[in-house]
Amino acid sequence: MQPSVIETIGNTPLIRLRRASEETGCEIYGKAEFMNPGQSVKDRAGLFIVRDAEKKGLLRPGGVIVEGTAGNTGIGLTLVAKALGYRTVIVIPETQSQEKKDALRILGAELIEVPAVPYKNPNNYVKLSGRLAEQLAASDPNGAIWANQFDNVANRNGHVETTAEEIWAQTGGKVDGFVSAVGTGGTLAGVGEGLRRHNASVKIALADPLGAALYSYYTTGELKSEGSSITEGIGQGRITANLDGFEPDFAFQVPDSEALPIIFDLIQEEGLCLGGSTGINIAGAKRLAREMGPGHTIVTILCDYGNRYQSKLFNPAFLREKDLPVPAWMERAPDVAV
């Protein structure tokens, strides 16, 4: 029996990705982070950020946790907060999927939707959430903290201590490569650091969507971006504190046109319904497999469940509007009448 929802975070299964493995001659596995109670990899960050604040004496019963998030961190933080007796105030760009906003409202987060503007703009959702946390810390009798997932290394440390250790144990130490996209960088740098502590020769690779600047940074030293992606929760334009000091062995840039067919095939052929960032991750894992050659074991992250993107990724009208290919099966045949 689990004492609370918090103890169900982590210890997720590792799933063999059949097609990616067959196509590359490597063993490619996905860490099933969509099986966390909030259905994403960000439950871990939520838990470790809250526990770290408690340890530092920053959170009092009834206190407020404020965060700027594309959605999943807000969901993770809110379910942890509910279980421990805190409130959450979540600042989210209005461009994020309706499903994530609905999930946050149902969980009881106090939601503030703001226009999506770049990080350098003072009204960017991350900066707004930081200022709001300061105001609430001064005015709320129970106090408030800013979770600050991008620059709070409790996020990365959670992956060093849990995700990396689980992957090492689940593969019996036979992991040759790890690939991840970056939102905050907590997953990539944390799992990378944790695996390298066990074996310094494990290859760690970044899979970057178009519109992000890290591929350019790690290949040329310059933060530059072009293009765009419909994936959510990933695509970073700066070196966050979670990425600071971390160096990947490989960096790949993956267009949506390569990532989305992987997501569509996974549903039809492997029964896995996952979000867009997972497509970038698996495309990256296949590229790393090709760099390393057959016979290697490569792990990536299955970041979140696909139902979070019904209105976008699995909506033919949305895909057509973005000039992305619509799989034939999605142009749905009529239901069978009985």
Site mask, ligand PMP, residues 27-66, x = CB under 6 A?
A: -------------xxx------------------------
Residue 184 binds ligand PMP, judged by CB under 6 A: yes
DSSP state of 305: B
Q: Tell me if residue 42 is catalytic.
A: yes
User: Which C-beta is closer to ligand PMP: that of 144 or that of 243?
Assistant: 243
Closest of 267, 297, 262 to residue 282, by C-alpha: 262
Pick from 38, 158, 186, 248 the residue near ligand PMP by CB under 6 A: 186
User: Which C-beta is closer to ligand PMP: that of 63 or that of 71?
Assistant: 71
Site mask, ligand PMP, residues 285-304, x = CB under 6 A?
A: ------------------xx
Beta strand pairing call for 87-93 and 110-114:
parallel
CB-based contact 224:208 (threshold 8 Å) = no
Question: Can you list the pairs that 311-318 forms with residues at least 24 positions away whose Cβ atoms lie under 8 Å?
Answer: 311/97, 311/98, 311/99, 312/97, 312/230, 313/230, 313/260, 313/263, 313/275, 313/276
Burial class, 14, CB count within 10 angstroms (exposed 0-12 / middle 13-18 / buried 19+): middle
Give how many residues touch ligand PMP by CB under 6 A. Answer: 20
Kindly name the residue from 31, 42, 100, 203 that is annotated as catalytic. Answer: 42
Residue 277 binds ligand PMP, judged by CB under 6 A: yes
CA distances to 4, 84, 168, 249, 326 from 196, in Å: 32, 33, 10, 11, 40
Closest distance to ligand PMP from the beta carbon of 332 (Å) = 25
User: Which C-beta is closer to ligand PMP: that of 24 or that of 187?
Assistant: 187
Stretch that binds ligand PMP, among 4-12, 57-65, 230-238, 325-333 (CB under 6 A): 230-238
Taking the CA atoms of 271, 177, 198 and 148 in sequence, report the sign of the dihedral they define: negative
CB-based contact 49:66 (threshold 8 Å) = no
Residue 111 phi/psi, 5-degree rounding, is -100, 135
Distance from the Cα of residue 250 to its chain's centroid: 19
Rounded Cα distance, 41 and 46, in Å: 9
Site mask, ligand PMP, residues 160-179, x = CB under 6 A?
A: --------------------
Residue 195 binds ligand PMP, judged by CB under 6 A: no
User: Which C-beta is closer to ligand PMP: that of 40 or that of 129?
Assistant: 40
User: Which C-beta is closer to ligand PMP: that of 27 or that of 232?
Assistant: 232
- Residues labelled as active-site residues: 42
Where on the chain is the footprint of ligand PMP (CB under 6 A)?
A: 40-42, 70, 72, 181-188, 232-234, 275, 277, 303-304
